Structure 1
Amino acid sequence: MVLIADILMAAGAFGAAIYCYVLSSRLKKFTTLESGMGGAIAVLSAQVDDMTRALEQARAAGNRSADGLVALTARAETVAGRLELLVASLHDLPNPDPAEPQALQTDRQLRFVRRRQSRDDLEAAE
């Protein structure tokens, strides 16, 4: 009986050794960085790092744009208030005579002045 138990124990140990050897070879193939899953994991890890950096840059650019928009909005509100004051002050002006603008238009002549560029700015053709 002891002999049968020893034979079965030896067979179990031999089976466990074969299982460990097969598992070891599979793990070596799995973890190789060039061709196996380890390579795919390394590539994906590098892509995650790149995407994280790109996300941080996009977030920083978005924050800068938001700050710029806040400043421009505040400036636009200030200018809108000034324009409202100017329009309100126009209501205080007296109404002009309808015949008066025609007399002013006949007395005035508009002149257009055009300036030429200086010769220094022009390039000589060779």
Structure 2
Amino acid sequence: MQIIADILMGMATLGAAIYCFVLARRLKRFNQLESGMGGAIAVLSAQVDDMTKALNRAQATAAGSAQQLGTVTERAEQAAQRLEIMLASLHDLSEEETEARRHRTVRRRTRSTDLEAAE
């Protein structure tokens, strides 16, 4: 019985050694920078850094644009309030006042004597 247990223990050890050897080869291929996953990971890492920098620039630009938009919106709201006040003051005027304020043009007929004097 002791011999069978030793044989099984040796086979288990041999199996573990083969398994470790296979994993070591896979890990070596995985970490190769030129052709393996290591190279892909290095390229992706560089791309992530570039995208992070681009994102930071885009956020800074967006913040500046938001500030400018806020300023322009505030100016537009102030102008709209002034226009509302002007329109309200126009509606307060009565029609008689508006009639009195209209400019009337009077056309004068030219006399033929005036034309002869001008020549």
Q: Name the TM-score, length of structure 1 as normaliser.
A: 0.63
Matched, 1:38 2:52: no
Q: How many angstroms apart in 2 are the aligned matches of 1:54 and 1:75?
A: 32
Quote the offset at 1:78 in angstroms.
Answer: 3.0
Residue 64 of structure 1: CA displacement?
0.6
% identical equivalent positions: 55
Say whether residues 1:59 and 2:59 are aligned partners: yes
Tell me how many residue pairs correspond in the alignment.
99
- 1:80 positional shift: 4.1
CA distance in 1, matches of 2:5, 2:86: 108
Q: Output the amino acid matched with 2:103.
A: P
- Alignment-mate amino acid for residue 78 of structure 2: T
Residue 98 (structure 1) aligned with residue 114 (structure 2): no
Shift of 1:96: 0.7
Q: Please, which runs of 5 or more residues in structure 1 have no aligned partner?
A: 101-126
**Where does the alignment leave 5 or more consecutive residues of structure 2 unmatched?**
108-119
Once the two structures are TM-superposed, the CA of residue 11 in structure 1 deviates from its matched residue by 2.1
Q: Does 77-86 or 42-51 show the bigger shift?
A: 77-86
**Correspondence for 2:110:** none
Say if 1:32 and 1:98 are closer, same or farther in 2 by CA, change over 3 A: same
Instruction: Say what the alpha-carbon RMSD is for the aligned residues.
Output: 2.5
| Superposition deviation, residue 46 in structure 1 | 1.9
Which is greater in Rg? 2
Question: CA 1:96–1:23 in structure 2 vs 1: closer, same or farther (change >3 Å)?
Answer: same
Instruction: Determine the C-alpha separation between the residues in 2 that align with 1:50 and 1:22.
Output: 36
| Cα distance in structure 1, aligned partners of 2:36 and 2:67 | 47
Does residue 50 of structure 1 match 2:57?
no
Q: For residue 10 of structure 1, report the CA deviation from its aligned partner.
A: 1.6
Where does residue 2 of structure 1 map in the other structure? 2
Distance 1:83 1:4, change over 3 A: closer
